[in-house]
Structure 1
Amino acid sequence: MTTTSDRSRIERHRRPVALSQNARLVLERRYLTKDDADKPIESPEELFGRVAHSVAQAELSYKPLRDPLDVALWEERFYDLMASLEFLPNSPTLMNAGRELQQLSACFVLPVADSIGGIFESIKHTALI
């Protein structure tokens, strides 16, 4: 897990995000974390940092790392890809990574059996999602 000192080191070296006025407006309206008065409380850099940190944590679960501090390197790589606008994840990832919901998928595919019972079972699963 990344320590506070590791996060501070990474944040010091993060490049600022160069966005057009329209891109900043879209981020403010749709993606940035807001307070109770619907005012953004994070910057684009903080948004990308939140997403990069959350996505990098998967390295601990799904890829054995020689050194757990390598997660900080992945976090930095993910941040740089987003800050350079070379890669941006889907909207659910931008909106939910690093937040309580953590719902990163944009769609779900459920099997539907060829029977009335199977159809309604799939409807039930859809409602639960």
Structure 2
Amino acid sequence: MFQFNQVIDVILQNANEKNEVYSEIHPWHLHRHDFWVLGYGEGKFKASDRNNFNLKNPQLRNTAVIFPYGWTALRFKVDNPGVWVFHCPIEPYSHMGMGVIFVDPVQNVKNIPTEAITCGLLRKMFLNKQHN
């Protein structure tokens, strides 16, 4: 679990897929957060690639691509409590496991205000559970 207001860097590395000579472009999407795209590169990411990160005016996105046989560097701030999916939104790849769950400090998630629950049955169930 992340700490609230922590800054996280993520390096997405794209390799071959079904055989040694085939790699595809993949979008990656983070739900309920935006992130800065710090850089892209070819081949395997190296620690020295950090020297080329754009820290002055990086793009702000919620979806970025990883090019074939390449890498993409992202940065986001943990400031939205909850459990959020980070994944390739192309369905077959999601089924193959191209996704993770990021947990922002869930203890900071507030209760849903009762006035937000307007649906009859849902309202009744929610109120009964909250008051038991």
Same fold at TM > 0.5: no
Structure with the bigger RCO (C-alpha within 8 Å, sep 6+) is 2
Larger helix share, 1 or 2: 1
With normalisation by structure 2, the TM-score equals 0.24
**Which has the higher Rg, Structure 1 or Structure 2?**
2
Looking at secondary structure, tell me which structure has more strand per residue: 2
The two structures have a TM-score, normalised by structure 1, of: 0.24
